[in-house]
Structure 1
Amino acid sequence: MNNKLKGLLAVILLSFLGWYFLLKQSDYTITFKVNAATGTISQGIVEWSATQSKKQNETYSILEKRNFDFIKQQMKKGNEELEYTWDMKSINDSMTKVTIGIKDLNHSFYNRLTAPFISTKFRTEQIEKIKSFKLGLEDHIGDFKIRIDGEGSSKEMYVAYISLKSVLQEKAQTMLEYDPKIIGYLDKNKIKIIGYRPYLEITGWDEDKEIVNFNYCFPIPKDTKYIPDSNVKFKIIPALKGIQATYFGNYRTSDRAWFTLLDYAKKNDIKIENKPLEHFLANPFNGGSELEWETKIIIPFAKK
């Protein structure tokens, strides 16, 4: 082997070692695939972190978040400090690849020397931890079904509505809290509800803070005379064209269909306005299997 080749190999080796020990973001990486949208997984990470905080006394803080496909968080427990970098990449309409980079801020050099090559305490604990997350996520996914219907449209409707605001995870609970107000108003004023199948109209969605502004709506006859009220208003929801899905499951997690449509739009280069319209076709107070509760969801095309 001549000196030039030896020198080149030395440079390559030193460059690799420099990258591996100084620049590489993680000590150990775990990858898996799951039948869920990137947003569903992102929500799962947030909820899992909250559970870990309660059950394992682990404190999680988000260092960086990008849309619904990237989360970097720090975990602290006693003297232990770890960073988890979650990267979600949609493979197709239903499958997502999840890559988790894990870094021990106090023992990074040792873990890089050992964890990728031999079974260490750090490696075993992290594999079990991520495996537990994946099993919990798969259990959650089993609680609902989503069917992408492709392009669709909604009908124009005249509605009575209340404007509300909540974090994304509590939209259904917020609707239930205000249900007596709007139903009480309609009953008191003898206003007919057409079909008793309400709509939820998203008017604003802060994806970073996961806060939604929305109207909780009930269809009523167009000739209904408005009786002034501090909460309830009347309006026309125009007909919409967009991409549509059918969701079967508890209304609390109907946003899982939103995430599925977002991934579908991104993959198919469809420009949409992130303001879903949900039409609930079942009454949860009637009981029955949640997998039979049907919701039609449409996200409108972006305005040209």
Structure 2
Amino acid sequence: MLNKKKIVVGLLFLFSVLTIWYLLIKKSDYCITFKEKTASGTIFQGIQEWTVAQQVSNNEVYSILEKKNFDYIKQEMKRGKTQMEYTWEMKSVNDSVTEVIVGIKDLNHSFYNRITAPFLNTNFKKEQILKITNFKKGLEKHLENFRVKIDGEGKSEEIFVAYINLKSVLQEKAQNMIGNDAIITGYLQNNNIKITGKPYVEIENWDLDNETLVYNYCFPIDKSTKIINDANVKFKTIPTQKGLKATYYGNFRTSDRAWFALLDYAKKHDIKLKNKPLEHFLANPFNGGNELEWKTEIIIPYDVE
């Protein structure tokens, strides 16, 4: 009899603790979880792009409260009197699948939502399910536009290049290259310097927290070329790089999706990499055609220090 009382008291205590945690301590009112066959960074970028679209289409104002490592982002959303917090956590399941956990909190009606969400199909619950479902559909549509193949260990060739140094946020790398393309190609043409291969992008600095890049937009040329000084165009040898390699098929604007795939792979296999991808673009986007046939080879070198 005494043992039964202890069991009952124990269960009541456990229930009380769980109730207090759920109603007063738990960070979110409602959680939605799903999986996608892509890298965590790709989903992270998708969240930010989706946020911009939401601001335009639904008159919602988003601000980022915290973000880190391309696998966590916390946002606040305001729309009229509505104030919400969205906490997105991306967890790598394996080399190709990421689990997404979305924690949702209504800052004005949190207690009510916590009580009703497990039992009732409230407007809050229906609206959040629809919102995240629409995000998921948009993400999956985006994933149809490119492919990433992890090749494993790879090695680039030593190459002599003419280059210009550029800076931009991660999302505007390709647009910035296109905007400055005439500077370097015009210089090479005006000085009768022949391009001997497809262009490269050499990342010198990738600030993951601020999502900014410093990089060289490079064109291979003959090493014996006579150098003519220029304020913008410089020359160098890019040495052989050994590291993890991926092949990306898709528009060059989103080639960073391969970077994220390599980072996830390296994290899963305990491989240390420098945040300095080297991209070799093997198709000419100015020729048009099917973007899924545009090929880019990417190596992120090992961090051996």
Scaled to the shorter chain, the TM-score interval is over 0.9
Of residues 86, 95, 112, the one that matches 1:93 is 95
Instruction: State the AA in 2 paired with 1:23.
Output: I
Deviations 1:156-178 (A, max 9, x none): 11100000001111100000011
Equivalent residue of 1:44, what SS? Answer: helix
The two structures, once aligned, show a CA RMSD in angstroms of 1.0
Displacement of 1:249 after TM fit?
0.4
Partner of 2:178: 176
Instruction: State the AA in 1 paired with 2:264.
Output: D
Partner of 2:130: 128
Partner of 2:7: 5
Instruction: State the AA in 2 paired with 1:25.
Output: K
- Normalised by the length of structure 1, the TM-score is 0.98
Displacement of 1:303 after TM fit?
2.6
Equivalent residue of 2:66, what SS? Answer: strand
Equivalent residue of 1:303, what SS? Answer: coil
Distance 1:32 1:7 in 2: 37
Distance 1:6 1:264 in 2: 48
Deviations 1:72-128 (A, max 9, x none): 111111110111111111111211111101010110111011112221100000000
Partner of 2:231: 230
Distance 1:175 1:66 in 2: 27
Distance 1:287 1:19 in 2: 56
Displacement of 1:8 after TM fit?
2.3
Instruction: Determine if the alignment matches structure 1 residue 144 to structure 2 residue 151.
Output: no
Equivalent residue of 2:28, what SS? Answer: coil
Distance 1:297 1:256 in 2: 11
Instruction: Determine if the alignment matches structure 1 residue 77 to structure 2 residue 103.
Output: no
Distance 1:107 1:122 in 2: 10
Displacement of 1:66 after TM fit?
1.7
Distance 2:259 2:95 in 1: 13
Partner of 1:277: 278
- Normalised by the length of structure 2, the TM-score is 0.97
Distance 1:116 1:229 in 2: 67
Partner of 1:194: 196
Displacement of 1:224 after TM fit?
1.2
Displacement of 1:4 after TM fit?
3.5
Instruction: State the AA in 1 paired with 2:50.
Output: W
Displacement of 1:217 after TM fit?
0.1
Deviations 1:27-66 (A, max 9, x none): 1110111111000000000000011011111111111112
- Pairs aligned (count): 303
Instruction: State the AA in 2 paired with 1:90.
Output: S
Deviations 1:250-277 (A, max 9, x none): 0000000000000000001111101000
Distance 1:116 1:239 in 2: 57
Equivalent residue of 1:208, what SS? Answer: coil
Instruction: State the AA in 1 paired with 2:12.
Output: A
Partner of 2:298: 297
Distance 1:267 1:258 in 2: 14
Distance 1:29 1:130 in 2: 10
Displacement of 1:6 after TM fit?
3.6
Instruction: Determine if the alignment matches structure 1 residue 41 to structure 2 residue 43.
Output: yes
Instruction: State the AA in 1 paired with 2:240.
Output: A
Displacement of 1:208 after TM fit?
1.2
* Ranges in structure 1 where 5+ consecutive residues have no aligned partner: none
Instruction: State the AA in 1 paired with 2:203.
Output: I
Displacement of 1:141 after TM fit?
0.3
Instruction: Determine if the alignment matches structure 1 residue 166 to structure 2 residue 175.
Output: no
Distance 1:254 1:121 in 2: 39
Partner of 1:251: 252
Deviations 1:151-207 (A, max 9, x none): 000011110000000111110000001100000000111111002x10000000111
Instruction: State the AA in 1 paired with 2:221.
Output: I
* Ranges in structure 2 where 5+ consecutive residues have no aligned partner: none
Partner of 2:55: 53
Distance 2:68 2:172 in 1: 22
Distance 2:157 2:87 in 1: 43
Equivalent residue of 1:179, what SS? Answer: helix
